């Protein structure tokens, strides 16, 4: 185990009833890394995120965050879900501030950063809007800002763009890269989309079908910032084929 690992999972297993959902799953995520997890449906990707965050407890093996075992929900992590799950009675900035208020810090102290994040995410002019007045893509940007507000040591993203249409989804991917380039948080990113994984991450962990374990660890050596041009890069195509083969062969 490396000292710098933000997350290290060692032989993690998870049983639901009689079903082994995850088995002997091990990986590490280092400081400032953007790591994607891909795999067939139902292989336990979301469960892995929940175990890493401490929201769920593995039935075997150990997860460590910054070297100490995760026994309860992490206190300085943040999660972005497939649905934006904003609070309908709060405006954009107040929704972003929720994480600060939950930590028990005065909202006023974070207002400036919340505004800055909103601008960074392209929400300028929508700071005083209620969630129902925003498009799906904008709502998800708000939820990303909310997750980034306290500069979490680990940002967990569970198919954050899964509910968006293809065009918005691609645009949001590049947006996320831009935001991440500015903040450099450690990210663990679950996705179904191979191209999304390649475009965003430094490393792709491919999971096997149920019971899930890490099958391959594929480094993505493409230069940043990646753009629509990257899609034409022959190395992109090769990587996509490699990842696809890894997912499909058992």
Partner 1 sequence: MNRVTKWSATCASAGIILVAWETLVRRFEVPEYLLPPPSAIWQKFWQTLSVQLEEIAFTAATTLTGLLAALVVGVLLALVVTYVEPLRSIVLPAFAAFNGIPKIAIAPLLVTWFGLGAEPKILLAFLLGLFPIFVNAATGLSEIEPDVIDLARLSGGTEFRIFRKVRLMNALPYIADAMKVAFPLALVGAIVGEFIGGNRGIGQLILSGQFNLDTPLVFACLVTITVFTSVGIGAVAVFERVFLGWRLSQRRR
Binding flag, residue 88, partner 1 (CB under 8 A): yes
Do the bridges between strand 154-158 and strand 187-190 make them parallel or antiparallel, or are there none, so unpaired? parallel
Site for partner 1 in 102-161 (CB under 8 A): 102-104, 130, 132-133, 146-147, 150
Q: What residue spans of the chain are helical by DSSP H?
A: 45-53, 92-102, 111-120, 136-148, 166-183, 194-200, 234-248
C-alpha distance across the termini of the chain, in Å: 28
Residue 110 vs 169, nearer CB to partner 1: 110
Look at residues 20, 64, 38 and name the one whose alpha carbon lies nearest to residue 216.
38
Least distance from partner 1 to the Cβ atom of residue 80, Å = 9
Residue 102 vs 228, nearer CB to partner 1: 102
Least distance from partner 1 to the Cβ atom of residue 69, Å = 17
Residue 176 vs 194, nearer CB to partner 1: 176
In degrees, rounded to 5, the angle at the alpha carbon of residue 57 between the alpha carbons of residues 72 and 203 is 95
Q: Which residue carries 């939950």 as its tokens?
A: 102
Residue 70 vs 121, nearer CB to partner 1: 70
Residue 107 vs 240, nearer CB to partner 1: 107
- Judged by CB under 8 A, the stretch of 28-36, 84-92, 111-119, 170-178 that binds partner 1 is 84-92
Tell me which residues touch partner 1 (CB under 8 A): 53-55, 73-79, 81, 83, 85, 87-89, 98-104, 130, 132-133, 146-147, 150
């Amino acid at each position: 185990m490396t000292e710098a690992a933000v997350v290290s999972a060692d032989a993690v297993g998870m049983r639901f009833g009689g079903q082994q959902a995850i088995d002997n799953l091990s990986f590490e995520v280092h400081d400032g890394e953007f790591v994607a997890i891909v795999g067939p449906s139902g292989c336990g990707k979301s469960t892995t995120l929940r175990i890493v965050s401490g929201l769920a407890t593995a039935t075997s093996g150990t997860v460590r965050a910054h070297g100490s075992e995760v026994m309860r929900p992490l206190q300085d992590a943040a999660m972005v879900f497939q649905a934006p799950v904003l609070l309908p009675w709060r405006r954009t900035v107040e929704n972003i501030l929720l994480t600060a208020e939950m930590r028990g810090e005065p909202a006023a102290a974070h207002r400036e950063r919340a505004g800055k994040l909103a601008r960074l995410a392209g929400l300028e002019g929508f700071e005083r809007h209620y969630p129902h007045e925003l498009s799906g893509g904008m709502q998800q940007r708000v939820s990303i800002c909310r997750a980034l507000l306290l500069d979490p040591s680990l940002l967990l993203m569970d198919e954050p763009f899964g509910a968006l249409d293809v065009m918005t989804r691609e645009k949001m991917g590049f947006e996320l890269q831009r935001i991440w380039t500015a903040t450099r948080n450690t990210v663990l990113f679950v996705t179904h989309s191979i191209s999304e994984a390649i475009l965003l991450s430094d490393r792709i962990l491919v999971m096997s079908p149920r019971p899930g374990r890490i099958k391959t660890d594929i480094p993505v050596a493409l230069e940043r910032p990646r753009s629509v041009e990257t899609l034409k890069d022959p190395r992109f195509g090769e990587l996509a084929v490699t990842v696809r083969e890894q997912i499909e062969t058992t």
